Amino acid sequence: MKPQAWWQGAIIYQIYPRSYLDTNADGVGDLPGIIERLEYVASLGVEAIWISPFFKSPMADFGYDIADYREVDPLFGTLEDFDRLLVKAHRLGLKVMIDQVLSHTSSEHGWFLESRCSRENPRANWYVWADARADGGPPNNWLSIFGGVAWQWEPRRGQYYLHNFLVEQPDLNFHEPAVRHAVLQNVKFWLDRGVDGLRLDAINFCFHDQQLRNNPPKPENERQGGGFRADNPYAFQTHIYDNTRPENLPFLGELRALLDRYPGVVALGEISSENSVATMAEYTQPGRLHMAYSFELLGADGTPAHIRRTVEHAACAESAAGWPCWAISNHDVERVTSRWARGKTPPHFATFLTAVVCSLRGAICIYQGEELGLDEADVPFEALRDPYGIAFWPSFKGRDGCRTPMPWQNAPHGGFSAVAPWLPVPAAHLQRAAALQEVDSASTLNGFRHFHRWRKLQPELIHGDIRFLAADERMLAFERTTGESSMMAVFNFSGERQHIELAAAVGAEAVSGHGLPEGERDGVVVSIPSFGAFYARIRRA
């Protein structure tokens, strides 16, 4: 079997620092809190951690608006804290990936403060500036993901600047060579410190159309999907000029050339485009990113048919060198146990979903709290912090419901902090606290650990190719194949026992020990309990 890099088939555990553990009693999680819980993370059986932004920031978008790429925000600790985190993680056998937000900065970044002053200063061309139309309006029809126009008037220059996200997140002008050089130098700073990988936020948003052409309107029946709600005007356009521009591809080559100077370092790109799976494939061609993920499995459709369509599309589109990455929860979407629930679900539902996604071909991102089976928190309007949710309330409550602090103990504030945290900890989450689940052999936490220990012993689930098998709408069935053998995986997404005929089941040897309700085989017929699984190995002569 061809040797593979550490990240191919790896489980990557995402940590949202604000909500992991607060060690200095200010209500916000910090880097020392992550350090304190690294043994816990290692016990989950994951290969790596991805830490969401901890850089200096005014926190308009909670760290995704960076004011200094080389400094740790005092809210989270110090650069020395990060170095300690890196050393301890490596000692525990964990790789460390960090977020890099390249397409935009904070409006308080020194680059922007200089750029906005005049049209003649050394950084005048570092951001996307444009003159007003004759009637004073913005230069085109581009929209912000967070609602409204994507242009903000700046009276110091007498021009508009582009912001694909918040007003406080001006877009860098990647057509300017000095910008690309400066961005890559910031990346190099963290590579030199010893990080093992980068998660590249909104990486397809780096370049814009220099002619500033209007985006065409999108038909009403196509306005759902891709991570955007149909009631968000952003979904009313086909975004072909404001992101995913062809000029981005040479820049990815520049980035990859830098990364290749650091053996073993991986780049994981976040993609949100009109055809995200195709963009994933394009961005992972040789000499570009190692991996990419999109929002296809982060939406409301968690049916077997949708999962199959998405993964097959990726398999058909990807290059031989490319590698997909799948996630079913993260800090931007409703938690999967709420989003994919169809009525009442059994206690092992979260473990079932973990098994499904971790049996697909590719690396897997697991969001903190998935291992506890946390559901979406209902945060009242007066406690909301997310500007996205505040702007779209009440039709959309934003991202705070998936960002509430980790419940470590069944105690005030979940043992997350000695004071009231930045977001409230739901009472229901206290019943799923890590300390309670540690001592319960049947808990979601221990089911998560058990499955990952078992998965490590199944090379087909880590390295194998994937081929889907015919199944009805309640079942997901596929084979993962290496040169030596195939592993069949069949999942029952319904609330009742299901039967499926699979010719491949003849001669297959059932593999138990995964911890889910187990299916049984009788000839070509496989019978699987509700939200259960059937794994079987087919040896090759």
Task: Enumerate the active-site residues.
Answer: 201, 270
Q: Are residues 448 and 522 in the same domain?
A: no
Q: What share of the chain is helix, strand, coil (3-state, %, to 5)?
A: 30, 20, 50
CB atoms within 10 A of CB 433: 21
Residue 526 sits in a domain of what CATH number? 2.60.40.1180
Residue 59 sits in a domain of what CATH number? 3.20.20.80
Q: Are residues 360 and 285 in the same domain?
A: yes
Q: Identify the residue whose tokens are 């309670």.
A: 436
Contact 444, 373 (CB under 8 A): yes
The last residue of a domain, from among 401, 431, 454: 454
Instruction: Give a yes or no: residue 252 inside a domain.
Output: yes
Instruction: Give a yes or no: residue 111 inside a domain.
Output: no
The pairing of beta strand 520-522 with beta strand 525-528: antiparallel
Give the DSSP letter string of 171-235. Answer: BB-TTSHHHHHHHHHHHHHHHHHT--EEEEETGGGS---TT-PPPPB--GGG-SBTTB-TTSGGG
Give the pLDDT band (50/70/90) at residue 1.
very low
Q: Is the pTM of this model over 0.85?
A: yes
Q: Are residues 359 and 312 in the same domain?
A: yes
Q: Are residues 357 and 436 in the same domain?
A: yes
Say yes or no to pLDDT of 320 above 60.
no
- Top pLDDT among 519 and 231 is at 519
Say yes or no to pLDDT of 528 above 60.
yes
Six-digit token string for 408: 């470590």
Six-digit token string for 6: 């550490």
Say yes or no to pLDDT of 400 above 50.
yes
Q: Which range marks the domain in which residue 531 is found?
A: 464-539
Contact 186, 256 (CB under 8 A): no
Instruction: Give a yes or no: residue 151 inside a domain.
Output: no
d(CA 517, CA 513): 10
- Looking at residue 291, its amino acid is M
Give the DSSP letter string of 446-504. Answer: HHHHHHHHHHTT-HHHHH-EEEE----TTEEEEEEE-SSEEEEEEEE-SSS-EEEE-GG
The last residue of a domain, from among 424, 454, 484: 454
The last residue of a domain, from among 421, 454, 487: 454
Q: Are residues 450 and 469 in the same domain?
A: no
* pLDDT at residue number 484: 80
Contact 454, 515 (CB under 8 A): yes
Summarize pLDDT for 467-498 with one digit per residue, the tens: 999 999 999 999 999 988 999 999 999 999 99
- Looking at residue 476, its amino acid is L
* pLDDT at residue number 178: 98
Contact 406, 368 (CB under 8 A): yes
Instruction: Give a yes or no: residue 427 inside a domain.
Output: yes
Q: Are residues 189 and 325 in the same domain?
A: yes
Instruction: Give a yes or no: residue 418 inside a domain.
Output: yes
Instruction: Give a yes or no: residue 315 inside a domain.
Output: yes
Q: Are residues 280 and 316 in the same domain?
A: yes
Say yes or no to pLDDT of 511 above 90.
yes
Summarize pLDDT for 92-119 with one digit per residue, the tens: 999 999 999 999 999 999 999 999 999 9
Give the pLDDT band (50/70/90) at residue 505.
confident
Q: Are residues 400 and 489 in the same domain?
A: no
Say yes or no to pLDDT of 2 above 60.
no
Q: Are residues 259 and 322 in the same domain?
A: yes
* pLDDT at residue number 226: 58
d(CA 306, CA 299): 10
Rounded average pLDDT over 284-291 = 95
Using CA atoms, how far residue 305 sits from 60, 87, 312, 368, 472, in Å, is 38, 43, 10, 27, 9
Instruction: Give a yes or no: residue 374 inside a domain.
Output: yes
Q: Are residues 26 and 90 in the same domain?
A: yes
The pLDDT mean for the chain works out to 95
Q: Are residues 34 and 85 in the same domain?
A: yes
Q: Which of 317-326, 422-431, 446-455 has the lowest mean pLDDT?
A: 317-326
Q: Are residues 396 and 284 in the same domain?
A: yes
Q: Which of 109, 40, 36, 29 is nearest to 77 (CA)?
A: 29
Instruction: Give a yes or no: residue 236 inside a domain.
Output: no
